[in-house]
Amino acid sequence: MINTVIFDMDGLLVDSEPLWGKAMREVFATVGVTLSPELTSQTTGLRTSEVVSYWHSYFKWNNKSVETVTTEIVDLVTHKILTEGKAMEGLHYILDYFRDKDFRIGLASSSPLRLIQAVLQHLEIGSYFQAVASAEFESHGKPHPAVYLNCAQALGSDPLQCLAFEDSVTGMTAAKAARMRTVVVPEAHKRQEPRFVLADLQLPSLLAFNDAYLEQCKAPRSALNLCNYYPLVKPFYGHHY
């Protein structure tokens, strides 16, 4: 019986991915590194320290430490989110939906805890979550399942009782590795990513989730259609996708 839902944060609850990209490009420019939007998208879902280490191993700058660059990126993206960050479409709908059904609600993010707390305060949604987990404190970040497993443990839930919401392949992989049913809500330009077929459900917006989809996610895995459910979404979503 699925009685728990765990959400990713960046790109799913808050429209922060463009702000992460801007912050990374601005900070990396201070060490002589130019990253295109295409390059920054390659590391979506990873912890900030992993992103910086990845690019440091490639570009080999030496005027700032990896730790300094990591801190500067987190500081800058926190500022950008607090001044520019907006809720993703359907944020309050989906949180109210699961709260009304008495689900345990958790958050499992690759972002540092201080950034998570800033977002929860900025969007005024902290009261919805019974547990918040940051991969900052794990030995491995997503796509390793540790942050999802620890969030489930903090909620008192078995991973098999959990439904995870993600927007990236990296996050989806982490949730599936934790043996959780997984709903992906990718950005429009990423919806044709073939690896999303591994999710139990793909939707164009948090607003599209409903009782019928919840029942789909509760069904035995062999009965699940692992492709997009756009034909079922169309009556609800009309011409908007």
Catalytic residues: 8, 10
CB 143 within 8 A of CB 150: no
CB 180 within 8 A of CB 6: yes
Burial class (CB in 10 A: 0-12, 13-18, 19+), 221: exposed
Separation CA 10–CA 33 (nearest Å): 24
Bridge partners of 7, per DSSP, are 107, 165
Please tell me whether residue 193 adopts helix, strand or coil conformation. coil
Residues 6 or more apart whose Cβ sits within 8 Å of residue 19: 77, 80, 81, 84, 85
